[in-house]
Amino acid sequence: MLCGGNVSEYCGGPDRLDMYQLNGSLPVPTSTTSIPGTSPTPTPGAPSVVSSAGGYGYIGCYTDSTANRALTGLINPVAGATLTVELCAAACAGFTYFGVEYSAECYCGNALLGGSTRATGGSDPTQNLCDMTCDGNTNEYCGGPNRLNTYQYNASLASASASAYSAVPTGTGSATLATSGTASATSTVSSTAAPIPTGPITVQNGVGFSYLGCYSDSVTSRALSGLNNPGVASQNDVELCASECTAFTYFGVEYGAECYCGNAITGGSALIAGSTPGVTGCNMVCSGNATEYCGGSNRINIYTYVSIVSSAVPSSSAVSSTLDTSSNVANPSSIATSSSSAASSVAVVTSASSVAPIPTGPVHVQAVGNYVYQGCWNDTQQNSNTRTLSGFAYFNTTGMTVELCAAQCAGYAWMGVEYGQEW
């Protein structure tokens, strides 16, 4: 069945659950009081600042302006009545920062711009004016008027969130939380967090792509010759070019405003030695985003598309729900299995020489955020105790998508979509 909020995606079916697994493994939290990577559950009626979400750590309340935004990479990828900190974090995956503002606004970016500074008033929302609650969850703060609750990606937080899970769902299909040990989510940002960029950066990776390096190029013999400048030159940045070249193996940005696609790096193009834009010559900012570098004169920042492949699926002892092999949504023989469900991993593989076909109809989303698709699973409606996933449930007849489900289930080991409108 198609998702109620996106007819290009499948969302399970009657008694069938499209199942996704966090980081391709089968973890559950080691504490019933606090899920690593998220904030402790606040007391009802007492909103709090979310300390971390989706691998991002809170860095403070920052000033903002409608005329000169602090974060300009992506504006309101999600917004409105359903906005939460977790939803914004999921929508901004791949960016260095995200922020929530004025209850219903979400912003992403790779640098803090526009003269944005930490708001005065310390950490008290009533003093720094990041005191408006999220429209999608009144237990969380989502900035304020010209105030942005700002979060920075932190690899240590993301790693700690994943490693703090150690068990698997057991019983009649319900996921149960282990109670051995406790976990704390009170720390906001690790001391190992990357410094805040003060100028443009070379984008290293994004959703579905990874950086290869700065290469030489020539107007007479292009490094990438499959498609030239498919986008709007004045709006060019890495993410826009990535979205325009999805039918190819590689894409690259050059001379600030140029975008190229191709299935091979040709024309005698070679990797330029050096680790900084000033040395390599890939030092021109993107015409559509001054926070990012987009190649240079006869220099092209080249990226390759990547896909996430799970190296393991749940064993029968981990989940009693069974994989529906009659469906064509998953081929169990093509997925490596493991008897140890707690020690699986996710491998990132670069695109092969063959080009993936462009979908002409609805698709099963293969990866979203940190979740990897595990197939179509049987489910039951008899009662909540026999549901395959019983930690959290929600119904949305018109707005359901796989991405929305992933954002709302952040911190859980598993998430699934069913009947077009359920998670």
Q: Report, as an integer, the average pLDDT of 165-183.
A: 34
Domain boundary pick from 275, 306, 337: 306
Q: What is the pLDDT of residues 237-279, one digit of tens each?
A: 998 999 899 889 999 999 999 999 999 999 899 999 988 899 9
Structure tokens of 325?
Answer: 């092999």
Domain boundary pick from 160, 194, 215: 160
Q: Is residue 340 part of a domain?
A: yes
Together in a domain, 408 and 366: yes
What sign has the CA pseudo-torsion 51, 38, 47, 149? positive
Together in a domain, 319 and 300: no
Identify the pLDDT of residue 339: 29
Q: What is the pLDDT of residues 54-66, one digit of tens each?
A: 888 899 999 999 8
d(CA 141, CA 136): 10
Identify the pLDDT of residue 331: 33
Together in a domain, 417 and 368: yes
Together in a domain, 16 and 123: no
Q: What is the pLDDT of residues 269-320, one digit of tens each?
A: 999 998 889 999 999 999 988 888 999 999 999 999 886 333 333 333 333 3
Q: Is residue 177 part of a domain?
A: no
Q: Report, as an integer, the average pLDDT of 91-99.
A: 88
What's the burial of 245, exposed, middle or buried (CB within 10 Å: 0-12/13-18/19+)? buried
- In sequence order, what are the residues at sequence separation of 6 or more whose Cβ sits closer than 8 angstroms to the Cβ of residue 101? 64, 107, 142, 143, 144, 146, 147, 148, 149
Domain boundary pick from 262, 279, 306: 306
Together in a domain, 333 and 260: no
Query: 67-76, 334-343, 359-368: which has the minimum mean pLDDT?
Result: 334-343
Tally the domains of the chain.
3
Task: Identify any residues that bridge with 329 across adjacent strands, giving them in sequence order.
Answer: none
Q: Cβ atoms within 10 A of the Cβ of 362, count?
A: 15
Report percent pLDDT > 70 for the chain: 63
Together in a domain, 332 and 357: yes
Q: Cβ atoms within 10 A of the Cβ of 250, count?
A: 24
d(CA 284, CA 170): 54
What sign has the CA pseudo-torsion 314, 315, 319, 320? positive
Q: What is the DSSP code (8-state) at residue 359? A: P
Identify the pLDDT of residue 325: 36
Q: Is residue 200 part of a domain?
A: no
Identify the pLDDT of residue 143: 97
Together in a domain, 321 and 336: yes
Identify the pLDDT of residue 149: 97
Q: Is residue 405 part of a domain?
A: yes
Amino acid at 98: F
Q: State the residue for tokens 């990797």.
A: 271
| 113-149 core/surface letters (b: 16 or more CB in 10 A; e: else) | bbebeebeeeeebeebbbbbbbbbbebbbbbbeebbb
Together in a domain, 423 and 329: yes
Label residue 103 by pLDDT band (50, 70, 90). very high
Q: How far is CA 306 from CA 207, 246, 372, 396, in A?
A: 9, 11, 14, 31
Q: Is residue 170 part of a domain?
A: no
Together in a domain, 383 and 318: yes
d(CA 407, CA 393): 13
Q: Report, as an integer, the average pLDDT of 32-61.
A: 66
End-to-end CA distance of the chain: 13
d(CA 153, CA 169): 29
Amino acid at 377: W
Label residue 217 by pLDDT band (50, 70, 90). very high
On average, the pLDDT of the chain sits at 72
d(CA 291, CA 71): 9
Query: 35-39, 56-60, 372-376: which has the minimum mean pLDDT?
Result: 35-39
Contact in structure between 58 and 130 (CB atoms under 8 Å): no
Label residue 97 by pLDDT band (50, 70, 90). very high
Label residue 184 by pLDDT band (50, 70, 90). very low
Domain range for residue 15? 1-32+312-423
Q: Report, as an integer, the average pLDDT of 2-19.
A: 75
Contact in structure between 279 and 290 (CB atoms under 8 Å): no
Together in a domain, 320 and 414: yes
3-state SS class at 6: strand
Report percent pLDDT > 90 for the chain: 31
Q: Cβ atoms within 10 A of the Cβ of 343, count?
A: 10
Label residue 13 by pLDDT band (50, 70, 90). confident
3-state SS class at 134: strand
Q: Is residue 168 part of a domain?
A: no
Greater confidence, 282 or 366? 282
Q: Is residue 423 part of a domain?
A: yes
Together in a domain, 342 and 295: no
